Structure 1
Amino acid sequence: LTRRLMETLHPEKLVLNDICQEMSTCFTDLLGSGRATFLAGDAESLPFPKGQDLIVSCSALQWFVSPELFFERCNTLLKQKGYFAFTTFGRDNLKEVASVTGSSLHYRSLEELEEALRIHYEIVKTHEERICLTFGTPLEVLYHLKHTGVAAVRQQAWTKRDLQDFCDKYARLFSDGHSVTLTYHPIYIIAKKRQ
């Protein structure tokens, strides 16, 4: 996303953020050019510079304690006529895994996000979709989640029995006899700071 923004919008300056300092190594060329700076830390509390024309967040808000407070905070960081654009995930995201494990992030609906934004922003564009992937086995679902970096399954170590129980239940609930499903529910929103 960062590279696409650079190619499309050609910003004079860019402030990059990730909770992990190590992510800065992905942008050594940009950081070395002086066009970008990198701030490591929690976006919910990190002191970002004010006067931004655009704030963009990709697949992070679902991890936040209070996206609503973040929306308010971004509003104070934006210039007049500034834009806030983000992607997150809705309630059906990884619903199969949530059904099997009983564990999930607190995903908000598109309507809840719009309601929270309307206090400070004009909604320019929203879109949501449900993308259903298929895999041969529940174990392939777990490998997929591991390789995408999604921590959708409980954090404590699993025993062989835990793994077998997960696979059995997943197959029983979400198999058509040939494959199993996994649903992603991305939400895309562009909002403009209210005058």
Structure 2
Amino acid sequence: MNFDKQFKNYDQNAVTQKKVAKKLLTFIDKSKKYDTILELGCGTGIFTKTLCENLNFTHLDLNDIFNTQDFFSNISYRDFFVENMETLTIKNYSLIVSSSAFQWVENLENLIYKTSKNTSHLVFSIYSKGNLVEIFNHFGVSLDYKSTEEIYQILKKYYTFVEFQEDEFTLEFSTPLKALKHLKETGVTGFSSSNYSLTKSFKSTVLTYKVSYFSCKN
């Protein structure tokens, strides 16, 4: 992932991530007071800002594989864990959340199992099967996106109540090159920009995003 190289340009280009963060908030009860919240894969704080503006809580802990703490100068948090979420030691939390990050996890079931031992409420969004199909069709590369049904079956093993919703939307660009540049500046390349012939022959001005939202409770 090239996210660490794109910090400065990320927020202004993360149109999809902002849209997903806004919708993910609707899966959380805003009338409830939360004692402790953990956000996994917080990035530059797109969802974090939304949380802080809309939820009532006592303590907020943040996690990302990159040290992005400079982006959180205006956010009050307790701890920032710079570590891969898959190896992170998770304490007990009232609520664990994650927006647009779980698709990077190598073993999703292990992570879900770990969260289920430390919270009774998990809310997250994840890009799912069919995401960025234009990139896969042309470059032949993709993350190993799971289908909504696959994710649901994993969650049902560890959580009693699982609510989910699927979403699909497109972003349109004036040229194919601008579509590829957008992916590069949001850290989601998935292809080698050094392959000049493939990049030059890419014709799509549309990028399709498929997102799944989940709220899990015990």
Instruction: Specify if TM > 0.5.
Output: yes
1:62–1:107 CA contact under 8 A, matched in 2: yes
What residue ranges of structure 1 are gaps of 5+ in the alignment?
Answer: 175-179
Q: Measure, in 2, the Cα distance between the counterparts of 1:129 and 1:10.
A: 27
In structure 2, the partner of 1:87 is 125
Write out per-residue CA displacement over residues 156-189 of structure 1, whole angstroms, 9 at most, x where no aligned residue. x61xxx3243332x32xx4xxxxx2211111111
TM-score (ref. length: structure 2): 0.74
**Secondary structure class of the residue paired with 1:115:** helix
Task: Give identity over the alignment, percent.
Answer: 31
**Secondary structure class of the residue paired with 1:111:** helix
1:114–1:123 CA contact under 8 A, matched in 2: no
Q: Measure, in 2, the Cα distance between the counterparts of 1:13 and 1:165.
A: 48
2:211 to 170, 186, 194: 186
In structure 1, the partner of 2:9 is none
TM-score (ref. length: structure 1): 0.82
- Identify which range, 124-133 or 36-45, moves more after superposition: 124-133
Q: Cα distance, 1:106 vs. partner?
A: 0.3
Q: Cα distance, 1:29 vs. partner?
A: 3.6
- Identify which range, 106-115 or 3-12, moves more after superposition: 3-12
In structure 1, the partner of 2:100 is 59
Q: How does 1:47-126 map to 2 (within 5 A)?
A: 47-49=89-91, 51-78=92-119, 82-126=120-164
In structure 1, the partner of 2:57 is 11
Q: Measure, in 2, the Cα distance between the counterparts of 1:128 and 1:152.
A: 23
What residue ranges of structure 2 are gaps of 5+ in the alignment?
Answer: 1-46
Q: Measure, in 2, the Cα distance between the counterparts of 1:123 and 1:105.
A: 28
Rg (Cα) greater in structure: 1
Write out per-residue CA displacement over residues 87-133 of structure 1, whole angstroms, 9 at most, x where no aligned residue. 11111111111111111100000000000000111344211111122
Q: Measure, in 2, the Cα distance between the counterparts of 1:69 and 1:124.
A: 17
